[in-house]
A and B are shown apart, each in its own frame.
Chain A
C-alpha cells in the first residue's frame, strides 16, 4: 500500500445549475473554497444551501438534472475533477476521494454481507490482493471499536445505526483515499453515538493523515471536530475561517443569527433567538443582490442590487456589504 500525503483542494468559482421547468437555476453560485492539506473543514448550512451539491462536486458526481456549468475543483494528485470523465473518474472515486453518504445507514446493499460488498469494491478497483483488503477492513473496523470479523459477515439489518455509520466510514477509507467527504455523518444518530462517531472521525483523521470535509446542518457537530468552518447560504459560502474564531466572533449576520438560534446548556436560555424568515429554495434564491438580505438585520441599500463579493481579512472570508465596510463595525449588540 502506498502512503501518500494529505491532498489539498481548491474550489474556484464553482457554479452548479439544476434544470427545472423554470429554466436553469443555480444551486451553487460561484463558490470558492480551499481545503488546506491535513485539516478537517466543516460546511454548515440548512437544507437547500447547496452544501451537499458542493460535496458531490468533489467527485464530479452531480446528477442530472444538475450539472457543473462553470468553475474548477483542483485536487492535488488528481487535477481538475470537473474535466475528468468515464473510467478516470470512476477510478478516482473511492481510490482518491472517499465518500460517506448522507444516511450511510441506508446506503448498504441489503442483499449482500458487508464483506461481499467490500470484495465487490476491491474488484471494481482491480485489487489483486483481496485478502489484504479484508485484513485492512478488519483492522479499520477494530480501530472503530467493532468486531471486524463479525461485521464483515453481517447483513446491514444485523447492524445498528451507529455500526452502519462506521461501516460507511470504513468503505470510504479502506482503499486508502486521503481525501474523505462525510455528508451528514451523524444525522439520525442519538447523542452518545454521535459523540463516539465524531471522536472516531477525528482520531482516524489524525492517524491516517487525511484531508477531511464534513457536511452538516448542525453547528455543534462542526464545532466539535473541525479546524476550519465554512457557512453556506443560498448556494454561496458567506463566511469561512478557523472554527473557534467563526464561532467565537462570527462576522456575517447569518452566522451570528445561526449561533444565537442554538439553545445551549449554559448561560441564559432566553437569549436564544429564532432567525426570522425562512431559507430560500432553488426557485426563490434572489437573482441579484445578496441572498440573505430578506432575513438580514443589518441590510443596507446596496444589498438589493449587488451580490457581495467574499472578502478575506485575517484568515477570515466574509461575503457581506455591511461587514465589508470597516467604517461601520458590526457588534453583536445590534441583535439584542
Chain B
C-alpha cells in the first residue's frame, strides 16, 4: 500500500502539486487521471523519488521514503518497476539486454539463470522471438511490452506506469491495459497508472483519482465515475458525445 499525505511540489515558484492526500491499494490497479498539465506526471515522479517533494510524505507499506538509509533506498528502488511514457528502453541494447539489465546490476545470477528469467517475462508479455531485436526495430506496442517486461523482471512490489498506452492504436492500447491488469492480479502488485485514456478508466480502473490543477478533485471506482455529479470529472471524462451516451445508458439502467 502507498499512502500519500499532503504532497506539495513546485518548480521555479509555480506550485504544481497542491497538497495531495490519497492511498493506493495493494493488488489493485490505481489510476491517476486528469487533463494535460494537471500535475499527473509530476505526482507520479514525486511518488518514485525522481522529484523531491517540498512538503508532505509518501509511505510504502508504512515506510517513509524520505527516511530511508542509502541501503534501504537501494532496496526500495529494486521493489519498484516503472514503465515510462516513451518506454525509455536503452537504444543501444537489444530487447534481451534491456530486460536483463536490472538482473545484471542487482543479482548474482549466472547468465543462464538470467536468460531463463528474461524469457519467462518476455513470454508473459507475449514477446517471444524478439530477444535479439533492437528497440528501434519494434513497434510502439512492442516497445511498451518490453518496458513492462523490464519493469517486472525483478518481481517488484510496486508498478508505476506513465501513460502506458499513449500513441498506441485502440486495439493495442487495450492489450497493454489488460496485460497490466493481469500482471497486477497475478503478482499482487500495487499498480499506479497515469492516463487520460477513458477506455482504460472504464476497463481497468479499480481506484481512480482525478487531479485538477494540482489538487485531488475526486476519487472513486470505475463504477462511481458513471454516477458522480462532480462537474470537473464529468466535464473531463464525458467530453465526447459517445461517452456521454454511454453514461446516459448506464444511468438509465441503474435507475
Decide if A and B are genuine partners.
no
Residues of B within 8 A of A (CB): none
